Amino acid sequence: MARAKLIVGNWKMYTNAKSSVELAQAVAEGLKDNTQVMVGVCPPFPWLTKVSEAIKGSKLEVGAQNFYPAKEGAFTGEVSPGMLKEAGCTFSIVGHSERRHTLLEPDLLLNRKVKAGIAAGLGIIFCVGELLSEREAGHTEAVLEFQIAAGLAGLTAEQLKLVTIAYEPVWAIGTGKVATPQQAQEVHAFIRKFIAKQFGETVAQSLLIQYGGSVKPDNAAEILKQPDVDGALVGGASLKTDSFLAIVKAAY
């Protein structure tokens, strides 16, 4: 089954008001002739509205890096899915390894976020991945099974249509280490089989599974041509127009 490719730039806690707009506009300009790949960027919260307005009408989608799973309330410092939609977002990342391991977000909370985002009509990029110690101990599949089962618990096959899974080996994020194309393919194929067990083969075959972990222009093509790799969640390389667009082109 031919699936679309999805390339998303996660800007993390980088850019300022001026550079965020300039970067988004430059990426949008570079996508004018793109008809093959879905592309999005996830700026920091303060720049979401500015970026959304700057690229309105283009082929570039805007997403968020996180949100709190409530419509409103006394949650100091948090933002809701509805606020993100009003700021121009069509999707959000949930469960990035930095939120799991640095900010200690538990699986139960991530499951609530997935459900709240879907209920609000946001697309969800749900991140999963193992630590280096877990891979070396041979626990990669067990870790992924637990994270996926916990994070997507209670979802229907219909709701899963709004979900993309991003496999991000934690040991390859910002380290310069990258899973080999074969390693990425093996894990992506495993994830697809696990989804088939949980939600059925039809759902599994249409599910997009991205790779995230030090994706750069020089390794993107080999990774993206693997049969079960449906795109990339890009960190540092998404902060420069040329490198990000080169990764998009590698997905053609």
Q: List, by residue number, the catalytic residues.
A: 96, 168
Q: In one letter, which amino acid is 123?
A: G
* Distance of alpha carbon 1 from the chain centroid: 21
**Cα(24)–Cα(22) distance, rounded to whole angstroms?**
6
Closest C-alpha to 63, from 127, 16, 125, 13: 125
| Known binding-site residue numbers for substrate | 10-12, 174, 214, 235-236
Residue 10 phi/psi, 5° resolution? Answer: -100, 105
**Torsion (CA) 220, 243, 2, 36 in degrees, nearest 10:** -160
**Cα(28)–Cα(46) distance, rounded to whole angstroms?**
20
CB 75 within 8 A of CB 42: no
Q: CA torsion sign, 223 to 133 to 146 to 138?
A: positive
| Known binding-site residue numbers | 10-12, 174, 214, 235-236
CB 252 within 8 A of CB 231: no
